[in-house]
Amino acid sequence: MSVNEEMQSTIADMVDGRRGILAADESNGTIAKRFDSVGVESTEEHRRFYRSLLLSTEGLGEYISGVILFEETLGQADDSGTSLLQLAAKQGIVPGIKVDKGKGPLPGAPGDMITYGLDGLAERLDGYKEQGARFAKWREVYPITPENPTRLGLTANAEMLARYAAVCQSRGVVPIVEPEVLIDGNHSIQRSAEVNEQVWHAVFHALHQHGVMLELMILKPSMVTPGKECAKAPAEQVAEYTMRSLRRAVPAAVPSINFLSGGQGPEEATINLNALNQLWHAPWQLSFSYGRALQESALKAWQGVAENGPAAQQALLKRAELNHLAMLGEYQEGLERE
């Protein structure tokens, strides 16, 4: 099978109009903060047990088509010795891997950031692929201030995303391209729309320059929302601004747009996704790739207690089902309490 055929198979398994992606790729630092919130120490054993709990949730594959994993998880197994990748694959959930190495300041562009990890990426991808990963994810972040993102910030981050995506496709690995426009700040929804549109234009210009096949990638963008210091916008307004900017900047060749939750609460992220799918027919699948917005209720139910495992799994399954309904534009707020 050629690398293009491998990627086409992965896209076919992940983009089916009814399922989304579970982001379980928190770095050790990030998951330590999540665990702290429920009084659990972030040891390797606790992380292994928690992630095996998520991936062994019966019926999860009905609503989740892919899972983004952290590098540590690739080598882990559940209590019976089944690898966590196999746990996912048995439910028809495609395993993938976060490949960036974190971010730092972008020299020459005060306030902007840049992500590390391109060195040795091709060799790392070969190893991840041997372990069973079929797609990868890379995140660039864009703060919104009166000065940011700068022109350099836009072009440098787009270049990193494009170079990463091109390397992935050369190895037969589907790239998830994640340009996250941060929700931090007091900017208006109009300013958010302006920045998101600039970011997406820059990203697709760079992807084109690097010969990335748009049909064999997935976009993981932010929704267009006001800054978190402002009042929340109605879901219909979020959907209208998001869709307008997407239609201006994202080619129809992209098969799926899997939104990140980006600081939205679980219910808010579901309501906004539902509004997007109710607005009008889009040329792409409009789906989700949520981390905390899928896991928050499960983590609270678990609290590090093995006996709470079934309750945690039910909480995860419920959120996954609600976001599946939002993909169909059939979510109703009363379903939260059922």
pLDDT digits (tens, 9 = 90+) for 208-246: 999 999 999 999 999 999 999 999 999 999 999 999 999
How many CA atoms does the CB half-sphere of 168 hold within 13 Å? 32
pTM of the model: 0.97
Identity of residue 13: D
pLDDT digits (tens, 9 = 90+) for 192-204: 999 999 999 999 9
pLDDT value at position 281?
82
Percent residues over pLDDT 90 in the chain: 96
Sign (positive or negative) of CA dihedral 25, 28, 31, 33? negative
The burial class, CB within 10 Å (0-12 / 13-18 / 19+), for 10 is: buried
- Phi then psi for 79, rounded to 5 degrees? -65, -25
Three-state DSSP class for 259?
strand
Q: What letter does residue 137 receive in the DSSP assignment?
A: E
Strand (E) or helix (H) holding 174: strand 174-181
pLDDT value at position 280?
75
Q: How far apart are CA 103 and CA 45, in angstroms?
A: 27
Active-site positions read 178, 220
Three-state DSSP class for 314?
helix
Structure tokens at 309: 């495992």
The burial class, CB within 10 Å (0-12 / 13-18 / 19+), for 261 is: buried
Strand 103-105 vs strand 113-115: parallel, antiparallel, or unpaired?
antiparallel
Q: What letter does residue 283 receive in the DSSP assignment?
A: S
pLDDT digits (tens, 9 = 90+) for 24-62: 999 999 999 999 999 999 999 999 999 999 999 999 999
Q: What letter does residue 216 receive in the DSSP assignment?
A: G
Residue 320 contacts by C-beta under 8 Å, 6 or more apart in sequence?
Answer: 20, 22, 60, 62, 63, 64, 294
Which pairs with CB-CB distance under 8 Å and at least 24 residues apart come from 245-249? 245/193, 245/196, 245/197, 245/200, 246/200, 246/221, 246/282, 246/284, 247/282, 248/197, 248/201, 249/196, 249/197, 249/200, 249/201, 249/204
| Count of Cβ atoms closer than 10 Å to residue 236 Cβ | 14
Q: Write the CATH number of the domain with boundaries 3-337.
A: 3.20.20.70
Q: How confident is the model at residue 337 (pLDDT cuts 50, 70, 90)?
A: low
pLDDT digits (tens, 9 = 90+) for 86-95: 999 999 999 9
| Count of Cβ atoms closer than 10 Å to residue 26 Cβ | 23
Q: How confident is the model at residue 333 (pLDDT cuts 50, 70, 90)?
A: confident
- Phi then psi for 256, rounded to 5 degrees? -150, 140
